[in-house]
């Protein structure tokens, strides 16, 4: 078999300790970190995305952080192209790409590729939005579950953009979105070691999520959101503003939620996101599964060496 350079996928739910483990792993291996986070790509969204600070990023090379303005969009296809380019550049520097994050769709795209999907159709999208105004997005998600149960299982009922896109693709092609996601791109030219960081106890993860969000509030998260809210070009329909925590804080800025309601809803939404991430990870049967509370970087390094 031809030699394939190594790459590491460090995957885990939010607040599971992925970042600290990745930084410690960099002490053992010549790695450069590629962020696999759909929110950390945006500038000005630092506290709510738990973005590594500047000092850390100067000490440990990071990529795909602060590459877009919140008014811009970013897709799994763009991530695929950007990540593959960066992985190649890192490999040429005789270093190891270490991809770290919790956006499981991005990892899935790198592993399996994505198909060429039809372009957006304004007429169909408008039609779907009108239906949502009448019966609600939850009902449309239920409809999606009938025609494309696999996509519905991966899409949050409170995510109108992805529900709309899945229904749009079905109406344009007559095929479920899930059936169109396949490997038209070539296999990833790397010896990939996939590591799933799993919490030992769900209750401990829930506690960490709560404590982290409360810490974000103390660090000035609401001031960060206020700066975004004051921009005329940003609104709740944008992917950046719909990110967990930011969406709830935006409603707070609009006086639709009290401070306590916003806090409770943000924590609940984060826990729900973590649950979906864990569902993805449990399907990664050929990954190296480790317990975030017990596994240290030295032990992980030893395990990775067995794969290399």
Helices (H), 65-180: 76-92, 104-112, 122-135, 137-147, 149-154, 160-173, 177-180
115 is in an annotated binding site: no
157 has binding-site annotation: no
β-pair partners for 33: 62, 98
Q: Is 48 annotated as a binding residue?
A: no
| 126 labelled binding-site residue | no
Q: For residue 27, how many other CB atoms are within 10 A of its CB?
A: 11
Does 19 count as an annotated binding residue? yes
Does 306 appear as a known binding residue?
no
| Phi, psi values for residue 96, rounded to 5° | -110, 125
Handedness of CA 106, 112, 116, 122 (dihedral sign): negative
Q: Is there a binding annotation on residue 14?
A: yes
13 marked as part of a ligand binding site: yes
Q: Which residues contact 50 (CB under 8 A, 6 or more apart)?
A: 14, 19, 212, 216
Distance in angstroms (rounded) separating the CA atoms of residues 288 and 197? 9
Judge whether 152 and 116 are in contact, CB under 8 Å.
no
Spatial neighbors of 116 by CB under 8 A, at least 6 apart, are 184
Annotated binding site for substrate: 14-19
Question: Which residue ranges are tagged as binding site for ATP?
Answer: 12-19
Q: Which residues are annotated as a binding site?
A: 12-19
């Amino acid at each position: 078999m031809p030699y394939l350079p190594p790459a590491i996928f460090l995957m885990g739910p939010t607040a599971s300790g992925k970042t600290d483990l990745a930084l410690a792993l960099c002490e053992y291996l010549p790695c450069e970190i590629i962020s696999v986070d759909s929110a950390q790509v945006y500038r000005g969204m630092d506290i709510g995305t738990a973005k590594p600070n500047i000092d850390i990023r100067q000490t440990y090379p990071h990529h795909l952080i602060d590459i877009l303005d919140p008014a811009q969009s970013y897709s799994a296809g763009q991530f695929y192209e950007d990540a593959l380019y960066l992985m190649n550049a890192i490999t040429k520097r005789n270093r190891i790409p270490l991809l770290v994050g919790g956006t499981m769709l991005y990892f899935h795209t790198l592993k399996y590729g994505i198909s060429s999907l039809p372009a957006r159709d304004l007429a169909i999208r408008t039609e779907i939005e009108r239906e949502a105004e009448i019966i609600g997005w939850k009902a449309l998600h239920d409809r999606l579950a009938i025609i494309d149960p696999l996509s519905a299982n991966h899409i949050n009922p409170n995510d109108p953009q992805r529900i709309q896109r899945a229904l749009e693709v079905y109406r344009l092609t007559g095929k479920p979105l899930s059936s169109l996601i396949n490997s038209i791109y070539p296999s990833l030219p790397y010896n990939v070691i996939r590591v799933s960081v799993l919490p030992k106890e769900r209750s401990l993860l829930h506690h960490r999520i709560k404590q982290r969000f409360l810490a974000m509030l103390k660090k000035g998260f609401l001031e960060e959101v206020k700066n975004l809210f004051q921009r005329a070009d940003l609104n709740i329909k944008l992917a950046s503003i719909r990110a967990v925590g930011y969406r709830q804080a935006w409603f707070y800025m609009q006086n639709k939620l009290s401070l306590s309601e916003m806090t409770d809803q943000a924590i609940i939404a984060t826990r729900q996101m973590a649950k979906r991430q864990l569902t993805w990870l449990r399907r990664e049967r050929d990954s190296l599964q480790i317990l975030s509370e017990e596994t240290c970087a030295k032990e992980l390094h030893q395990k990775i060496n067995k794969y290399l």
